[in-house]
């Protein structure tokens, strides 16, 4: 897992290159109760944070 952002009852996980959601899901099920799961493009918030991090390097 590259990053994980938790917002109360909502979270976003960014996987490392080469990792799959199928490999991560069993680990999540052992610790959390999921109501839904989806694979989506990065949010504007994530794009902004990544851009700021890159400019600071």
Whole-model pTM: value is: 0.60
Overall domain count for the chain: 1
pLDDT at residue 18, as a whole number: 92
Q: Which domain holds residue 32?
A: 3-55
Which of the four pLDDT bands, split at 50, 70 and 90, describes residue 37? confident
Task: Compute CA distances 27 → 30, 31, 35, 40, 51, whole Å.
Answer: 5, 7, 15, 20, 29
What backbone torsions phi and psi does residue 46 show, to the nearest 5 degrees? -65, -40
pLDDT at residue 12, as a whole number: 85
Spatial contact of 13 and 4, defined as CB atoms under 8 Å apart = yes
């Amino acid at each position: 897992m590259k990053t994980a952002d938790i917002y109360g009852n909502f979270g976003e996980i960014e996987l490392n290159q080469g990792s799959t959601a199928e490999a991560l899901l069993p680990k999540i099920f052992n610790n959390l109760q999921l109501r839904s799961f989806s694979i989506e493009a990065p949010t504007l918030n994530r794009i902004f944070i990544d851009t700021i991090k890159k400019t600071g390097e």
